[in-house]
Every structure is written in C-alpha cells, then in structure tokens.
Amino acid sequence: MEFTAQHIADLVQSKVVGKPEQRVVGWSPLESAAEGDLSFLSDKQYAHLLSTTKASVVLVSELLMPEKPKEGTSLIPVPDARKAVSELLNAWQASQTKVKQGIHPNAWVDPSAKVHETAWIGPGCMVFEGAEIGAGSQLIAQVFIGAGVHVGHDCLLHPGVKVLDGCSLGQKVILHANVVIGADGFGYNQGKQGPEKIPHVGNVVLEDDVEVGAGSTIDRAMMGSTRIGRGCKLDNLVHVAHNVHMGAYCLVAAQTGIAGSAQLGNGCQIGGQVGMIDHIRLADGTKVAAQSGLMKSVTEINSKWWGSPALPASHYKKVLILMNKLPELEQKIRTIERKVKD
C-alpha cells in the first residue's frame, strides 16, 4: 500500500489541507501512528491528539477541523471520518483479498453435493451429501458442511467453522473462526434417572448479510428454525439458544447469552455479557447495557435498559444514585436510633 494524500482525498471526494504529495504506506490510530501512516479523528475527546500525532495524513470530521494543521501532517476534511476510513479500509481489503475457485485436493466433497464452479472449497474442508455451496462462496480451510446444508452466494466461512445438518445460510454471510451453527439446543426433561435429552430436529437459518464472530454458537431448534434476521451482527463468543428468533439488523456484543425461544425485534442493540431468560420478547429498537440481566419482556420500542435484573435506564439511574447514598443514609439512621434510645 502506498498512496498520496491527494489520492486519498480524491477517493473520499474531498481536498487536502497541507501537502497533497504527502505519502501514506500504512494505517494506525492517532496515538500510535508513525510517519507514513494514515489515521482519522471522529470524536472530539481525541482532538488533542492532532497536535502530537506523527501520522502523515489524517481524515478529520469537518466539525473537528482545526484552524491550522500541525506541520508535517496533512488533513483531509470529511463529513464523518469514521465512515470515510471504513470505506477506505473496505476498498483496501478488497484489493488484498484473493478470491479462489475450485476444490482443493485435500478437501472432501460428497458426490451428491452441489458446489458452484466459482466457489472455493479449501484444504481440509468436508462437504456432505446434499449440501449446496453458492457462487463465489469461500470455505477457507477445515470447514465442515453437514448433510443438506445450503450456503448462499458470496459467503465467507473462516477456518474451523461448522455448519451442521440441514442448516441454511443466506447470501453474503460471514462466519468467523470456530463458529458452530446447528448444535443441539439445551433441552432436557426431568426423568427418573435424571435429565433426559429432548431430540432437536429443527435447524438454524441465517438470513442475508449476517456476520457471526469467532467462537460463537447458534443452536438448532427443537422443531422449526432458530432464525437470525437479515443484516444482524453477532460479536465473538455469543450464544444463541434453540428456537430464538432475531429480527433484522440487530447488534449483539461479546459474551451475551440468549436463552431458548427468545424473540428480538428489529434493530435491537445488546451490550456485552448480557443474559436473557427464555421466551422473552424485546420490542423493536430495544437497547440493553452491558452486563444487564433481562428477566421480563420489553414492550416499548426504542427503550433503554440497564442493570441486573434490568430496569428502564431512567429508573435505574435513580436507583444508582440512591445506592451511592446508602452508607450516608445508614449513618443517619443509626444517629436517629441512638437519639431515640437516649
């Protein structure tokens, strides 16, 4: 990678404040950038770093543009620096990605499976009977595709991914390393000799443009489908239990656990380490803070929930204020008790 500041400005349809010929050979955050790096500023709390950064070129959100750039640093004003740098990174990554086609000699594909001629089945992959792999999809290496699995076009499955029997991936689905789609759900009846396993004969359906982070697991339904809606993004180490239905464009951060048959509306945003009980319902646009525990359904759209057990954010803030005053209140109560006793 090597560009001039002017070339970058042209790509984002902007101008250069500084030296248009300034060269860029790498990417880095403002605080750790070296000469030759491209960086960005999109948050005012980091604006002070513009005066100390060693980055050669910085994309800056227009509202944060200084009157005069630091000597040696060229600035490129854009409406949203974070979005602009994301677009540049996408373009650069696409230019570096080598799309392959065919079946590696060390892969195994059942004769009844259908693999599009433009797809890639990498070394150590296994594709079982009746599976379908769509056009342009990339199974990087050591990917397991079970019987009857459908993989849509332009999907990207990283090493160690396992998509088990009967599950279905839409178009442009991304599964990161060691994701497991379609393991049995955690369902048992209490028998005379202890827990008795309930068979899970359903599947998992991931709709178009879903991305699932490394090490995450999505369990198959007992009956019917566990469904992740279009455009949902799940972080690393997320667990989605059997028969969960997730609406479109939800965001779920790391280490969240969603219990069986929960239903999330469209556009929900779930912070890290959130826990949800089974059969819960979340209205569209529900936002849940990190480490919250949801114990009841949410019916109000676009509401915010904090704490464990979770409460509406406005109410939980009042609870926090009172909790911080408890030692002082306790002391006052003890003082009053002593006076009454005397």
Catalytic residues: 242
Rounded CA-CA distance 132/140 in Å is: 16
- 309: cis peptide before it, omega within 30°? yes
Residue environment code for 200-238, b if the CB has 16+ CB neighbours within 10 A, otherwise e: bebbbbbbbbbbbbbbbbbbbbbeebbbbbbbbbbbbbb
- Output the six-digit token pair for 186: 């955690």
Burial class for 93, CB neighbours closer than 10 Å (0-12, 13-18, 19+): exposed
Q: How many helices (H) and strands (E) does the chain have?
A: 3, 39
| 82 in Cβ contact with 100 (< 8 Å) | no
DSSP letter at 42? -
Residue 255 one-letter amino acid: Q
- Output the six-digit token pair for 70: 């630091």
Residue 328: helix, strand or coil by DSSP? Answer: helix
Beta-sheet strands, E only, within 54-119? 57-61, 74-78, 102-103, 108-109, 114-115
